Amino acid sequence: MEIGYQFEPLHKEEITHSQLVRYAGASGDFNPIHTVVPFAESAGLGGVIAHGMLVKGFVGQAIGQWFSTKDLVKFSTRFRAMTRPGEKITVQGSVVDETADRWICQAEAVNEAGEVKVKSSFEIKKR
Amino acid sequence: MSTGLKEKIGMKLETYTFKVEAGKVKELALAIGDLREEYLNGEAVLPTFPTVIDFWGGGASTSDLLGLNVKKVLHGEQEYEYLGEIKPGDEITVTGVVEKVYTKAAMNFVILKKEFVNQNGETVLISRSTVIERH
């Protein structure tokens, strides 16, 4: 591991409406903008949007492939763009800095067109 | 800014306790598609599991509490600081406070800070959520 190291990207399958319903039940976030198309349209969103935390969950999955999540000490995420059913997300990341006892890393979730959906920074305890 | 939002700085949020059930951990893993063995068999929780504790543990709607229009509300940022481990079987008590409120680019930003404490009195997690209300 060193500064500049690029992690193996995580390629997720296409997000489906069913997945959003399932995520709503699992997380307990039943805001209808994620599951009820007429409601999301009336909110001016042009259809349902994925829970930001689902996309953060994809980043969490990637971190679990790159490191042991037991070493994860901080995980911040900024939600940048809406994600919709039909989109395929890839999570990519790299090591950007280090301290005596931590790796400072960044990750982003992008769609097939390269649009950044979420940007995360996270810190890993060095072993 | 909607009337009185600034006055909500320092306001305490609902306190709640949630028992971390292995079944809820598995359900979240399946919904995300993060199928690590330790999540499915109840040995560890996912990094984003605290959101389950938030939504299933707490009954009150944050938007209602802050007087925000739910059709205009978006989740802007979410930060977790892991100070200890959360394990299936733990009983987690969450307390929260409105840490900051500000307006930028014709949107209201509200930062909620929550502390997650386990059954042994150890603070295992600090969560900061930024809630955005579009005007």
* pLDDT per residue as tens digits for the range B80-89: 999 999 999 9
pTM: 0.95
The answer as to whether A54 is a domain residue is yes
H helix runs in chain A, sequence order: 17-27, 37-42, 52-66
Q: Which chain A residue has the Cα nearest residue B55?
A: A28
Q: What is the pLDDT of residue B63?
A: 82
Q: What is the pLDDT of residue A66?
A: 98
CA distance B15 to A18: 32
Q: What is the pLDDT of residue B50?
A: 97
**Mutation target vs A (from B36, B51, B53, B70; most A CBs, 10 A cutoff):** B51
Burial of B106 (0-12, 13-18, 19+ CB in 10 A): exposed
Chain A neighbors of B55, CB-CB under 8 A: 27-29
Q: Tell me which residue range forms the domain holding A79.
A: 10-15+50-125
Residue A100's CATH number: 3.10.129.10
Q: What is the pLDDT of residue B2?
A: 52
The answer as to whether A97 is a domain residue is yes
A16 contact B CB<8A: no
Residue A36 contacts residue A88 (beta carbons within 8 Å): no
* CATH 3.10.129.10 assigned to B6-20+59-134: yes
Residue B55 contacts residue B118 (beta carbons within 8 Å): no
Contact A19 B31 (CB under 8 A): yes
Residues of chain A numbered 52-81 and touching chain B (CB < 8 Å): 52-54, 56-58, 60-61, 63-64, 69-70, 72-79
CA distance A8 to A27: 27
A23 contact B CB<8A: yes
Domain ranges of chain B: 6-20+59-134
CA distance A121 to B74: 20
Number of structural domains, chain A? Answer: 1
Interval B53-67 mean pLDDT: 85
pLDDT tens per residue, chain A (127 residues)? 899 999 999 999 999 999 999 999 999 999 999 999 999 999 899 999 999 999 999 999 999 999 999 999 999 999 999 999 999 999 999 999 999 999 999 999 999 999 999 999 999 999 8
